[in-house]
Structure 1
Amino acid sequence: MGKKLIIGLLLSLFLAQYAEAQEKGRVIVIKDPQIDSLIAKRLALSRASTSGNSVTILGFRVQIFSGLAREDAYIVQTKFKSLYPNITSYVSYTQPNYRVRVGDFRTMLEAQKFMNSLQKQYSSLFIFAERINPR
């Protein structure tokens, strides 16, 4: 009979705690205060990415340089900027090459026309489809 009494007491104690935890209409939230600041920062970043220049779309760029030397890539970019100040240029690195790609063209035809105008200045030109920054 002693075992049944102990089991009964433990069971009633457990049920009493369970019933207290199921109190309706009350929620206690315990959190680090930095969580609110992180949420605010995330919302600000989200708003910034949907407005302004952060929006990207699929389009085309013309590659005017690909090589191993970083300095050469920046020299080509500087020369391009002096010849075409209204066209944006981008230097990227994918091991082992640096690449200079130019333009933010929405259609392949626009990229092709611009590439044709560059053929006198640059020896190897290619068109790549990638995410662009629309004007």
Structure 2
Amino acid sequence: MKKAMFDYKAPVSLIKHCFLFLLLVASEQSFAQTRGKVQVMAPPLFDTLLAKRATLNAGGGGGGSGATSGYSSYGYRVQIYNGSSRSAAFSTQDKFNKEFPEMRTYIIYREPNFKVRAGDFRSRIEAERMKEQLKAWFPIMFIISEKINPPKTVITND
């Protein structure tokens, strides 16, 4: 039995015309969209919840202190001590707190080492500036990227 062969080839002009027709139809559909107006319908308690969240973040309630309430984000800290001596870690923290009382310090213990980290910097540039200031007191320092506590927000009723 012989194979049936299909020898018909579509002319190139017919293919071009079909492609042009499809392109025109597709572009017409994209331009047929009309611009509308978006209206957001919020439940009546939404504004009160936003106000309550602002007071909780400011430290006005929620059972936590203002320094630890709120949301953490990633940032940078300067590590000023890393060693196995607990007393050396606490003395390093005291030394830092005497020079910079407004800045928070954190002691982290990961067996077998204690680490003292200072600051809650949102950008690496701020951490580098602090590192330059601390060179006189602490010769070996590192900048560590980790979750930080956000600074206290000031809410004004303007």
1:102 corresponds in structure 2 to 118
Do residues 121 (structure 1) and 137 (structure 2) align?
A: yes
Which of the numbers 56, 60, 77 marks the counterpart of 2:76?
Answer: 60
1:89 corresponds in structure 2 to 105
Matched position secondary structure for 2:93: helix
- Between Structure 1 and Structure 2, the one with more helix by share is 1
Higher relative contact order (CA 8 A, sep 6+): 1
Matched position secondary structure for 1:90: strand
> Once superposed, what is the RMSD of the aligned Cα atoms?
2.0
- What is the TM-score of this pair, normalised by structure 1? 0.61
2:86 corresponds in structure 1 to 70
Task: Kindly provide the CA deviation profile for residues 91-122 of structure 1, in whole angstroms up to 9, marking residues without a partner as x.
Answer: 01011100000000000000001101101111
Task: Tell me the distance in 2 between the aligned counterparts of 1:121 and 1:79.
Answer: 9
Task: Tell me the distance in 2 between the aligned counterparts of 1:65 and 1:48.
Answer: 33
Alignment size in residue pairs: 89
Which of the numbers 103, 106, 128 marks the counterpart of 1:112?
Answer: 128
Matched position secondary structure for 1:121: coil
Matched position secondary structure for 1:98: strand
Task: Kindly provide the CA deviation profile for residues 37-66 of structure 1, in whole angstroms up to 9, marking residues without a partner as x.
Answer: xxxxxxxxxx949x9533211000000000
Task: Kindly provide the CA deviation profile for residues 9-38 of structure 1, in whole angstroms up to 9, marking residues without a partner as x.
Answer: xxxxxxxxxxxxxxxxxxxxxxxxxxxxxx
Task: Tell me the distance in 1 between the aligned counterparts of 2:127 and 2:86.
Answer: 25
Task: Tell me the distance in 2 between the aligned counterparts of 1:119 and 1:64.
Answer: 10
Instruction: State the percentage of identical aligned residues.
Output: 39
Which of the numbers 91, 96, 110 marks the counterpart of 1:80?
Answer: 96
Letter in 2 for 1:74: F
2:149 corresponds in structure 1 to 133
Cα deviation for residue 123 of structure 1 reads 1.2
- What is the TM-score of this pair, normalised by structure 2? 0.53
Task: Tell me the distance in 2 between the aligned counterparts of 1:114 and 1:130.
Answer: 16
1:39 corresponds in structure 2 to none
Task: Tell me the distance in 2 between the aligned counterparts of 1:80 and 1:121.
Answer: 8
